[in-house]
Structure 1
């Protein structure tokens, strides 16, 4: 059975008139008759009894009538649902992002996205860099925001901006009055770092290894917010992405420009290479590029 054949049968069965069915479907009578005949042949028997004056349903036609109504209603509902998804009237999208990005820049982009697409549901997973990549590879999310990976290996990376890392020091520390700090200033203090396998931790260790050797970590945490609170309490110093500046200062710490060496890394969108994403995910990706790109 085809949808066209079922529509032809239903139009005749409801009106019991080929003429009215032709008008309703905008078909010629030969085309309508052919659709009914082909349907009957495919099913193996007559569905309608036709005379020069009347049309009636056979017992088999009576059986098919409620089924045809249900199938065509489901078909029409499916068409409309997909149309709403493609036109972004409805939909759902999941994104995974670094906690530093999820807590600072992502809400700005989501506000702009929501203003354009109020009926698209967005799920945000704020997880460490490595988990973002794993969630993309496992098809648990369509989009991810990460520090640029060393190897893409089946992923595509769309740069959003270049993040220059800053020092985080206690507000009452003499270091807080400086306009710029060097790593040598920080490494004389207890250092607070994200726990491995954090990409931020790895980047910091790699950046100072040649000049200063091992990163002397006194405290570790999984969350940047906890790092900020520990710094604010005077337990030590840290280095975080610059996009965390407002978050760190809200926690009571101070952020200072950092040099020698300068630590910077591109942040961008990742998705699986060679695969299509939903219309909702593409719209969110476009809004992220528009809202955050090039900051």
Structure 2
């Protein structure tokens, strides 16, 4: 579609003059005439009847003018809507974060980011790893801090660190004074596990194999926070990544082995899609804070 030609035609039809139209469009009359000739050649019809003194619309031009003007009005409105949407997108960052990782890192990261960008909105999808992968793939989250595993081929992954699963044992439990546990030590005690539909649940199921059926999974929850709550209440032991266990004087954190189970934490984003400046800035702050936190905790 010849948008430049349409603009020239509409301006001439409204002003009734090549000269006035050329002035309004900041063009020479020669350039304006060229646009009209190209438009008429493209559609195969004459739209304007020109003399040395006047310009009038042909019959085809009279029929075409209101439709062309209406179309350009709608096109301009659409363009303006998209421009506003683009402006809002530049003022908004959307990220994904696994809940336990978000609780550990995001408060400080977002405080620093807000100090540097007080007017920028940050949308946070705190969901399971599979849903975070879907968000990134759909472009709804610009990047996500999550567990790395079976990501899509179109997703770029950046490994940050590995973290052991440990046992969270409530105070007063017979196992609370143990310096080290094995999975066999947990047989016969009520346990709380994360649903096998979540990334943590899948990691445990795949790592424990037949041992899963020997353990007393008395409670099954969807989020690590609820598993930690059951431990705090003295109802069960849970096994989670260290960062997912709430800090409390009434909970003992004990390493567990045979097998030792780990999760790999990292960043995912769309392959081949550069991050917008604000999202890239937030990611840099996040990576710096994670590096400092890992260095401090060893």
Q: TM-score, normalised by structure 2?
A: 0.71
Tell me how far 1:234 sits from its aligned partner.
1.1
1:218 aligns with 2:215: no
CA distance in structure 2 between the partners assigned to 1:134 and 1:27 by the alignment: 50
TM alignment of 1:217-256, pairs within 5 A: 217-245=217-245, 248-249=246-247, 254=251, 256=253
1:287 aligns with 2:251: no
- Matched with 1:63 is 63
- 1:29/1:151 Cα in 2 relative to 1: closer, same or farther (>3 Å)? closer
TM alignment of 1:14-53, pairs within 5 A: 14-53=14-53
TM alignment of 1:2-17, pairs within 5 A: 2-17=2-17
Tell me how far 1:235 sits from its aligned partner.
1.3
CA distance in structure 1 between the partners assigned to 2:103 and 2:69 by the alignment: 50
TM alignment of 1:1-295, pairs within 5 A: 1-84=1-84, 89=89, 97-102=97-102, 104-106=104-106, 116=117, 118=119, 122=123, 124=125, 126-127=127-128, 129-133=129-133, 139=138, 141-142=140-141, 143-149=143-149, 153-171=153-171, 173=173, 181-184=179-182, 187=186, 189-204=189-204, 216-245=216-245, 248-249=246-247, 254=251, 256=253, 258=255, 260=257, 263-271=261-269, 273=271, 276=273, 283-284=278-279, 287-292=282-287, 293-294=290-291, 295=293
Instruction: State the SS of the aligned residue for 1:19.
Output: helix
CA distance in structure 2 between the partners assigned to 1:79 and 1:112 by the alignment: 35
- Identify the range of structure 1 (7-16 vs 211-220) with the bigger mean alpha-carbon deviation: 211-220
Q: RMSD between aligned alpha carbons?
A: 4.2
- 1:121/1:18 Cα in 2 relative to 1: closer, same or farther (>3 Å)? farther
Instruction: State the SS of the aligned residue for 1:126.
Output: coil
Q: Encode CA deviations 1:273-292: one digit per residue, 9 max, x unaligned.
A: 4x547x66x85365235325
Asked if the contact 1:90/1:120 (under 8 Å) is kept, the reply is: no
Asked if the contact 1:22/1:29 (under 8 Å) is kept, the reply is: yes
Q: List runs of 5+ in structure 2 lacking aligned partners.
A: 294-298
Q: List runs of 5+ in structure 1 lacking aligned partners.
A: none
CA distance in structure 1 between the partners assigned to 2:105 and 2:146 by the alignment: 13
Q: TM-score, normalised by structure 1?
A: 0.72
Tell me how far 1:237 sits from its aligned partner.
1.2
Instruction: State the SS of the aligned residue for 1:71.
Output: helix
- 1:9/1:253 Cα in 2 relative to 1: closer, same or farther (>3 Å)? farther
Asked if the contact 2:196/2:205 (under 8 Å) is kept, the reply is: no
